[in-house]
Structure 1
């Protein structure tokens, strides 16, 4: 099951005037990229990961929306909670995609009937469009989903798997990248019915194990199991600067603001972190990371101080920076306990009041003063 243009759908749910219009989620600066786009925008050649500048040229009348990851995360959690309640076994493959094992359902409701009911229930409860493909394994069901989008459903029975796959472009095979497509195209292979005629021994010799796996997928073979959904073990964020910078003071304040948002997210989900990682990317695209273990915490000042220490350690070359990021990992469930030897009760009370304000007026209602300069 896969959401249709998920980020755009969430924005339309908030603002119905965007419906049936070319909408692009992403930055509008020259360095911005397209995160997602509506099907109306895709008709003009716009796609995700495309530079925003190019998207504007292709679709000048498109409506750009900056996007809000908090909203998308909450919407994703809405859908996952429904799937967890209704489905016997599922895997959350991404923020907008779930694999569901319906083995045995044919004895009761019927697998197709169950999947249809679940799809309609999700749309009714969330107001978000979703498509699904039902078949023998992950690969075929995902391809069936993609062929049924937007707002569709498709069943590919075992007997019709190959006839469904054969006319499709090899681009439709999940996991096939652009370099592999070029290589196969040079061999005269652009469609699945051509790919399956290549002996598997040759695919193994020419492309190694990935080539053999690709040949198996083209033949409708995928033995990968459903991996049950597991709780999130890390959260993070990063920011690419509008212009490469060496303003260390400003970068540290940005880092502090990012940590503040992550700490709030931790407290909202009643989690604590025991590891913090800081990432920087120089103007020459060299990326460096540094992490440190910390006592379990969700407190802003503890995490901010450690993030700044890590930044001082990792930034050891006098070069312009392009990006900075921070990640909190080794998450466990739990709430902060007051430590009278290190943190005052007043500071704890302050965090509680700040969180109440955010809960009522939004995550951006309270910010560090230094981040506003």
Structure 2
């Protein structure tokens, strides 16, 4: 049974069971059990309608679970005959699950794990490998998340912005582990974009694609981190960039600017420049101003300070950076870069070494240490 087929079948099956009265945890468990039976039976005797087969077998599995727990048989039969409880007409099953998995009742880590399991169709082991944690740990996390959703109705109103944050978290997990979470996040966001016309969904998809297009140039042959300004731009995926720009233009045409559209516009300006020197830093600063008006994020202020330095000089950039909280991640690294551009190599070397101690991963730490060593050796 192909992985793509399973991914397409799982969300509607879970949704169908929830509409019939199953809680999310029981529905997901029943569908997983039905999938095991499908793996055993379908190769020799494939069903005429795989979706209907999976829902039927999963529903029977759910009823068996209730019976084995000495549940109320009369209620089971009554639930089986009831229509979907208040489900808005035309609402896609997958979209309902996006909202459920991104419930504000869950922690971000739990929401991401549950999204990958219920909508992504990934196994607990695959998700655990992606997060570099033991399978038992991830199983506990997913089970705890499902318990927390026990009293939440599937047709309850959800928050699309929470869904988008969860998908962006999946994307930003990066490229570690045996599963490519960035590709999985793009796949899920494409699916969501097909279910809603909200321009921010298309903005997020464009943003992901633009970052993903530079993936092959982000590390060297030895695995070392390569910053944007030093990347080999001939290795960027121009077809993916072109697709992202079309998606972004379509989103911006709706004239409902959001943070993901603004971020994608900045990424598109970087992708459009054939060299670092050709980058339109003035327009990038303008987009950062738009983004600040939407989010007022200290991280955005930090990135804007670096862009200001490129547009107006390091002294102006350092003045802008002085207004940013020093506790913001990568603040010290940004200060090091701006001091280097200002010609204060001693101060810059010291800051690079200090930033390395605060780095969030090994590749970033090693890169910052090399930068410090480079400046010290040049003096």
TM-score range, shorter chain: under 0.3
Higher relative contact order (CA 8 A, sep 6+): 1
Higher strand share: 1
TM-score by length of 1: 0.28
Higher helix share: 2
TM-score by length of 2: 0.27
